[in-house]
């Protein structure tokens, strides 16, 4: 059952990314080009995506457990540290340079050609690099 829910969610997520234009890197870069030919479409995407989740979090607060019977994830401590800020800056920079964030890069890999595959492999490499950074920090501490 958990696997079916995951698959339905993943499929709808992919369709949403495709329909909204998030898999079109030129469109995403147009959104980030605030000081040029700015394309506001992504504001509609983000706004549209937040609406069902506002409702979902309210339902979650009332029901306490999911349909599968698990407790909902707790709200993280409001810890704003260097790791969060550095990571966000690096992510924003890469997002602008390629026009891909993780979801659309995964979703479009079957039709994005060589460039899409290269980006996805490099992104996985960057993820593995983050664990190396984490381990070095642990070793230093």
Residues whose CB is less than 8 angstroms from the CB of residue 96 and which lie 6 or more positions away in sequence, other chains included:
29, 32
Chain-centre distance for alpha carbon 39: 20
> Least CB distance from residue 138 to other proteins, whole Å?
14
Cβ 32 to other proteins shortest distance, Å: 4
Provide the sign of the torsion angle of the four alpha carbons 18, 123, 73, 70, taken in this order.
positive
How many beta carbons lie within 10 A of that of residue 104, not counting itself?
22
To other proteins, the closest distance from the beta carbon of 101 in angstroms equals 4
Q: How far is the CB of 139 from other proteins (least distance, A)?
A: 17
Measured between alpha carbons, how far is 93 from 38 in angstroms, rounded to an integer?
Answer: 17
């Amino acid at each position: 059952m958990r696997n079916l829910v995951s698959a339905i969610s993943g499929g709808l997520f992919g369709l949403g990314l495709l329909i909204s234009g998030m898999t079109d890197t030129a469109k995403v870069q147009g959104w980030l080009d605030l000081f040029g030919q700015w394309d506001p479409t992504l504001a509609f995407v983000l706004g549209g995506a937040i609406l069902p989740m506002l409702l979902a979090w309210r339902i979650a607060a009332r029901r306490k457990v999911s349909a599968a019977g698990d407790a909902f994830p707790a709200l993280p401590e409001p810890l704003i540290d260097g790791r969060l800020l550095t990571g966000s800056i690096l992510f924003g920079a890469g997002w602008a340079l390629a026009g891909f964030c993780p979801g659309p890069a995964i979703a479009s890999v079957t039709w994005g050609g060589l460039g899409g595959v290269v980006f996805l492999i490099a992104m996985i490499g960057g993820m593995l690099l983050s664990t190396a950074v984490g381990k070095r920090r642990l070793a230093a501490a």
